[in-house]
């Protein structure tokens, strides 16, 4: 059940964000409960005074997880590329979750800026995890730019609406069967995560659903179990839905009495 991302094997298929938790201690417990091996970190947020720099890094090191830096909040190609370059220097990793936001209300990615930034970063040796819509053409362009992983949204960031466009997500999976696909953003419930995994997606990345839950540690544990359940269900080759009923008990050879 291991997943390979840019040559790195991980066991957990749940990726966790580190923003908006009530306290560092709650974050630490949620990371442990989730079993995640990868957490996303925003350069802007974590370098701010509210994180006290070294204290936050001590927490991450103690958790023993891999960091996926994030260009969160970037709206232009130049801004995203510069932030990625700074993140590589600070976090000592070529991994970068690439965001180029094109619309403020939905935080929808700018597909044109995203592809342009991905081309630049891939040329510079970055291993890019692009946050994108569930668009086949954009996916194809990102792969051509050098990306080896794609991260389509389920729904807008922080909305908790789950998988808004199931048809498009299924189509994306079918068109790119050998590309690691990670549903990123909009996941609100463990059932949403399980559904994504049942469609054959390789992993799920979420933040708000755990961070803003009444009991983040318990919610993290629930998501971990849901991701595993969804993956196992996918591998088990689920039955197809039917329009009509199908009796679970066969009627051929059933016992009957003389009065039947």
192 touches 163 (CB < 8 A)? yes
Which residue out of 75, 78, 97, 119 is catalytically annotated?
97
107 touches 156 (CB < 8 A)? yes
Tokens of 78: 């130049």
Q: Could you give the C-alpha distances from 33 to 22, 142, 225, 237, 247, in angstroms and in order? A: 16, 33, 10, 28, 41
Q: Can 212 be counted among the known catalytic residues?
A: no
**Which among 96, 101, 103, 91 is positioned nearest to 118, based on CA atoms?**
96
Q: How far apart are CA 27 and CA 224, in angstroms?
A: 15
Q: How far apart are CA 39 and CA 212, in angstroms?
A: 16
Positions marked catalytic: 97
């Amino acid at each position: 059940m291991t997943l390979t991302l840019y040559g790195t094997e991980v066991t957990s298929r749940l990726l966790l964000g580190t923003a908006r938790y009530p306290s560092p201690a709650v974050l630490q417990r949620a990371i442990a409960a989730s079993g995640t091996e990868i957490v996303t970190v925003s350069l802007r947020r974590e370098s701010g005074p509210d994180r006290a720099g070294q204290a936050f890094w001590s927490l991450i090191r103690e958790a023993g997880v891999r960091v996926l830096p994030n260009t969160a909040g970037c709206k232009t190609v130049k801004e995203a590329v510069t932030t990625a370059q700074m993140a590589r220097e600070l976090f000592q990793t070529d991994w970068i979750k690439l965001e180029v936001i094109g619309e403020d209300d939905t935080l929808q990615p700018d597909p044109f800026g995203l592809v342009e930034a991905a081309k630049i970063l891939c040329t510079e040796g970055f291993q890019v995890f692009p946050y994108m819509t569930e668009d086949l053409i954009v996916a194809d362009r990102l792969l051509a730019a050098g990306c080896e992983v794609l991260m389509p949204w389920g729904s807008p960031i922080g909305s908790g609406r789950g998988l808004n466009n199931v048809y498009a997500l299924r189509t994306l999976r079918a068109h790119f069967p050998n590309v690691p696909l990670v549903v990123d953003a909009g996941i609100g419930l463990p059932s949403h995560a399980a559904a994504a995994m049942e469609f054959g997606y390789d992993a799920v990345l979420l933040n708000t659903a755990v961070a803003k839950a009444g009991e983040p540690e318990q919610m993290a544990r629930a998501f971990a179990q849901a991701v595993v359940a969804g993956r196992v269900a996918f591998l088990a080759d689920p039955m197809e839905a039917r329009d009509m009923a199908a009796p679970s008990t066969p009627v051929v050879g059933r016992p009957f009495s003389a009065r039947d």
